[in-house]
Structure 1
């Protein structure tokens, strides 16, 4: 259950270190939220560290392009 209603999600993991870095919406059980199905959410702080840090949490994902 999320603020926008009931969703079925799956976790996204880094293949380098195995850390959980976000989730993907599999099914939205709310008609107005169906547009989220198949979309992913990456939690930037789990990838690059704290806001004031330029250090990557995992060097294996240093090639990841976030625009």
Structure 2
């Protein structure tokens, strides 16, 4: 008993829908409007809103807000396009705000 079943993951803080795996974290050093955020190579059980250009701390990016597929809560955003070469690694990756996700199976 007491063994962790399944992978360590993050869930929506609102409805506990699993949205990302711990193993998919690319960076924990991202900053969102309301605090820290994590960059994930992949997110699950989320839907993306319309794409829009936003000026972020690292320059102009085309992003789409990412919502929990169950409750609709905005959890972060996905980088659709980066305009500077040094930021291209973010394309297709998802940022989830730390205060909007909770750890499961830890």
Please tell me the TM-score bracket, short chain as reference.
0.5 to 0.7
Unaligned runs of 5+ in 2: 1-54
The yes-or-no answer on 1:46 pairing with 2:100 is yes
Unaligned runs of 5+ in 1: 49-63
Structure with the largest fraction of strand: 2
Task: Give the match for residue 61 of structure 1.
Answer: none
TM-score by length of 1: 0.66
TM-score by length of 2: 0.44
The yes-or-no answer on 1:11 pairing with 2:65 is yes
Flag the structure with more relative contact order, 1 or 2, with Cα contacts below 8 A and sequence separation at least 6: 2
Describe the shift of the 1:38–1:13 C-alpha distance in structure 2 as closer, same or farther (beyond 3 A): same
Structure with the largest fraction of helix: 1
